[in-house]
Structures are given as structure tokens and as C-alpha cells.
Amino acid sequence: MCELYSKQDTLALRRKHIAPSCKVFFAADPIKIVRAQGQYMFDEKGEQYLDCINNVAHVGHCHPEVVKAAQKQMELLNTNSRFLHDNIVEYAKRLSATLPDRLSVCYFTNSGSEANDLALRLARQFRGHQDVITLDHAYHGHLSSLIEISPYKFQKGKDVKKEFVHVAPAPDIYRGKYREDHTDPASAYADEVKKIIDEAHNSGRKIAAFIAESMQSCGGQIIPPAGYFQKVAEYVHGAGGVFIADEVQVGFGRVGTHFWSFQMFGEDFVPDIVTMGKPMGNGHPVACVVTTKEIAEAFSSSGMEYFNTYGGNPVSSAVGLAILDVIENEDLQGNATRVGNYLTKLLNKQKAKHTLIGDIRGVGLFIGIDLVKDHQERTPATAEAQHIIYKMKEKRVLLSADGPHRNVLKIKPPMCFTEENAKFMVDQLDEILTGLEEAVGAKTESVISEDTPCRTKMPEEAHSEPLSDGSPDPKENPSRKRNGLCTDKHSLLSKRLKT
Ligand SMILES: Cc1ncc(COP(=O)(O)O)c(C=O)c1O
């Protein structure tokens, strides 16, 4: 039995018993999902939805191998990590094998928020500093300690920025302070961090950590320019702080070419602490902090024990191990590269056709469509983005809009997403954009180059001829080229996943 209540009753009970700040997707017309498989979700009437946003269901909803592993271990034993058990050590060994050598000590937690909170504690204990540098629009979790370092949240609510928190500009080369026409945006953005460090020092403050997602997700699918993290790490280390890479959204092979997103930036960049969650358990609450021996020893030297009742329990570890196997056995990283490239190519054709699309950026199966009202000013098309996600829902495709202006369509589907799924999604989007443009009297134009996102004319200036079929067909995603990342190899940088 999939349903206890009619949809209407479920909604009424939710309104009565679930806190109003816990929001649903598509608030004006929520969906009731009763089951899911792979990249598809099904509502109470059996209608199938293509899931383009669920990066938690990483290897596919209800993957049979993951379900089997959980069930098998649940039948045998589930207890805490105070007893010796092979699952937790095997899992820690396998995870650390995916990371550079110096990242070899694991703390298992139940959520990305717990992982980031612990990462802050580790950083602060390491040298006794307190201050944290975070990026504008960042989100790192729902605990009090993380709302404090999440401008995505504290700038919207009543909370104010604490004196020990410093906000650096997001390294967004499309709508940030330094753009793709800047000669060296990586250095320019890193220098902003250096300036913050100098100002903090001048007022007697000391930096414990710089924290950033390897690619900003809630912040609008932002990919930092190559070289940025290396420079920031140099400045932060020089100030006695540590570099925390938040891979809660973007880890576990989503970028295709590498297992961890930070690895795209080159072998010479290694964070001091990596936090992970979401895809790690495919929906089961599993998360982790991985750090160096030195930092872990400094933490334990305080004498305080770290105990987490459910962290690293035998069932969670069995689930995590099964997911690592599926990623490898089904070549999901390879799939992320292949399908991601194909999807990006299709989307770039859409960009050439539709004036509403200002930028397509992404790597692997992490892609953003930045919608704009005009290409010159890059005015965010927020209302249009909301309209599109509701229309896509009518066409049974689940997408969401995020970023500071909520105008960036986020694509981060389960990693089993296929080329057929990509084509279907883009065809639906094409129809909706065409309808929207016809409704506002905008015309498509054929002069737009996919490599020159800002040259698109505003609708009223646009050509009246329909798009010729000479639309560009790029060999690669221009945003990858312009970010200068290492996307040329499908490999783990330092160690093999399989041990
Ligand atoms: C980048 C990032 N870090 C941390 C978190 C917090 O993870 P959780 O919701 O599992 O606590 C999130 C959740 O959305 C996230 O996006």
C-alpha cells in the first residue's frame, strides 16, 4: 500500500502537524510522491516524473544493490561505533582511497550539517583561531553554527553577520565582481580573500578556516575559475587557517572526470578538511568529515571524546560501501561525463535559440541555466524561472530554480540519467521557452554565439528571421573552457577508488 491518505488529506495533515517553515517543492501545487526508481518518481496516480534535481538519490532511487545491502546488515546487527566492526573500517579505507594521501582520517556523522559543524570545530581547535571566511551566497547547513557562515540564509533572515564571520565575493565569472572578460579573475577573487585576512589581522582577529563548496550549488551553480582555490589556500595557510572543502552536494563523481569536485582544480590543490553527505547514502543519512592526521591529533589532544550515536553504524557503512560499488560497477562517473557533455551541447543550442538563456555552465551532471531578461545587464529572469519550473512540472519534469536571484535552473539528476532523458528534458524546455517568448513577442535570433554569452541582443532588438539551422555545435562546454579546469581525464587523481 503506497497511500494512507488522499492527497488532500495528506496536505491538510501536513499543514496541521508539520512546521510551516518546512517547505514543499511547488508550494502552489505540491506533488505527492509515493515511489521512485532510478531517475523516475511516481505520484499517487502512477504518473511518472523525470527527476532532474535529486542529487541525493545519487546512484538512482531505491537502487536494488543499496536496498539489499541495508536489509542484509539490518537483519544481522546495527549498533554504534564503540564496538569494533569491519564495515566502518572498510568504508573509511575505501573513502580515503578516493582522496589524496594526506586526507586519511574519517569522522562519520548523519548529515552534511553535522559534518560541517565538526569541520569548524576541528579547524578552531587546530590553532586556536576562531574566525571563518565564507563565500557570498554560500549555504553550509542548518545548525546554528552553520547559519552563521551561510549568507544564503543569514542575509534573508533576521540574523546578522557575526563579527568572526567574513564574507568574500563568490568567484562567479558570469554575474560576479570580476567576470569572464577580466584578465585574471582567479587572482582578483583570491586577492579579495587576502584583503579580508589583512583586515582581520589589523583588528586583532585570527582566521581559523576558509570554507567553500568546490562548486557553489545553492549560490547558483558557480564554478570558480582555475587557480582560485590554490591562491586562496596559500593565503589562508599563511594566516594559520585551514581550507575546508564542502563536497556535500558535489562529491562522489558528479563532475565525471574526478571523484571529488575539488580535484578538477589540479593536483596541486588539496584541502585540509573535506566534508561529504547527501549522495553518500543515496537517501540514507550518512555523512563524513575527512581530514589529516595532524588536524585529527590536535582535536583529540583536547581530551574531549567525539561520539556520534549513529555515525558510521554497520548499516550506514554497508549502505555507503554498496554505493561506492555501484558508482564503480555501473561506471556512473563515465556516464556523468558522457551524458553531461551531451546535455550541455543541447543546452548550448537552446542558448543560441532563446534570448532568455544568458549562460549555460556546468561540469558533468552539475549544470546551471542562468535566465536573464537582457544580455547586456544580465538582469535575472526570476519570475520566468519560476514559470518554467511549474510548466516543466506539468510536462512531468522536475527542475528547481536557485541562486541569489532564484533565476538559475539547477540540473543535478541521479547519476543514471541517460542521453534520452537529457533530450526529453531539453525538448520540453525548448517548447516552454518558445511559448514564453511568443507570449512576450520576443523573437529568436541566429547571431548569438555560444561562446559569447553577453552578445545576445535584447528581445526588442532581435532579428525577425527564425533561427537558421547553423546553430553552433560546440565540442565542449564553453564554461568549462573559460574556467580552465582539468576536465580532460576521467581518473582519480591520487589513488584508485577500488582498494
Ligand atoms: C553545500 C551544502 N553543505 C551542507 C549541507 C547540509 O546538509 P544536510 O542537509 O544533510 O544537513 C547542504 C544541504 O543542502 C549543502 O547544500
pLDDT tens readout for residues 180-202: 999 999 999 999 999 999 999 99
* Domain co-membership, 87 together with 17: no
Residue 134 Cβ < 6 Å to ligand 1: no
* Domain co-membership, 321 together with 337: no
Residue 353 placed within a domain:
yes
Q: How far apart are CA 472 and CA 447, in angstroms?
A: 10
Of 248, 273, 282, the residue with max ligand 1 atoms within 8 A of its CB, to mutate for a pocket test, comes to 248
433 pLDDT tier (thresholds 50, 70, 90): very high
- Residue where a domain stops, chosen among 330, 348, 365: 330
* Domain co-membership, 175 together with 253: yes
- Residue where a domain stops, chosen among 443, 458, 476: 443
* Domain co-membership, 306 together with 360: no
What does the pLDDT average to over 3-8? 96
What does the pLDDT average to over 336-353? 98
pLDDT tens readout for residues 227-285: 999 999 999 999 999 999 999 999 999 999 999 999 999 999 999 999 999 999 999 99
* pLDDT value at 418 more than 70: yes
* Domain co-membership, 176 together with 220: yes
For the chain, percent of residues with pLDDT exceeding 70: 87
* Domain co-membership, 104 together with 217: yes
Residue 140 Cβ < 6 Å to ligand 1: yes
* pLDDT value at 72 more than 70: yes
Ligand 1: distance of its center to the CA of 275 in Å? 10
Residue 77 has a CB neighbour count (10 Å cut-off) of: 12
* Domain co-membership, 200 together with 232: yes
- Of residues 2 and 3, the one with the higher pLDDT is 3
Residue 497 placed within a domain:
no
160 pLDDT tier (thresholds 50, 70, 90): confident
* Domain co-membership, 135 together with 147: yes
What does the pLDDT average to over 409-434? 98
* Domain co-membership, 125 together with 78: yes
Ligand 1: distance of its center to the CA of 282 in Å? 14
Residue 389 Cβ < 6 Å to ligand 1: no
- Residue where a domain stops, chosen among 330, 363, 390: 330
In the prediction, which pLDDT does 483 show?
63
Atom of ligand 1 nearest to the CA of 278: 10
- C-alpha R_g of the chain: 23
Q: For residue 269, give the CATH number of its domain.
A: 3.40.640.10
* Domain co-membership, 147 together with 260: yes
* Domain co-membership, 291 together with 372: no
Task: Supply the range of the domain harboring residue 342.
Answer: 7-61+332-443
387-392: list long-range contacts, CB under 8 Å, 24+ apart: 387/436, 388/429, 388/432, 388/433, 388/436, 389/26, 390/26, 390/28, 390/29, 391/432, 391/435, 392/425, 392/428, 392/429, 392/432
Q: For residue 24, give the CATH number of its domain.
A: 3.90.1150.10
3-state DSSP helix/strand/coil percent for the chain, to nearest 5? 40, 15, 45
Ligand 1: distance of its center to the CA of 53 in Å? 14
Residue 152 Cβ < 6 Å to ligand 1: no
Nearest CA to ligand 1 atom 16: 249
Q: Assign residue 379 a region (left: φ > 0; alpha: ψ between -120 and 50; beta: otherwise).
A: beta
**In the chain, what's the furthest Cα-to-Cα distance?**
73
Residue 473 placed within a domain:
no
Ligand 1: distance of its center to the CA of 140 in Å? 5
Q: How far apart are CA 107 and CA 400, in angstroms?
A: 32
In the prediction, which pLDDT does 484 show?
61
pLDDT tens readout for residues 11-42: 999 999 999 999 999 999 999 999 999 999 99
Number of domains forming the structure of the chain:
2
* Domain co-membership, 224 together with 121: yes
Residue 150 Cβ < 6 Å to ligand 1: no
Helix (DSSP H) and strand (DSSP E) numbers for the chain: 14, 15
Confirm whether pTM is higher than 0.85.
Answer: yes
Residue 147 placed within a domain:
yes
446-451: list long-range contacts, CB under 8 Å, 24+ apart: 446/352, 446/470, 446/471, 448/351, 448/352, 448/355, 449/352, 450/348, 450/349, 450/351, 450/352, 450/360, 450/474, 450/478, 451/478
pLDDT tens readout for residues 467-482: 233 333 333 344 444 5
Which of 462, 32, 482, 58 is closest to 255 using CA atoms? Answer: 58
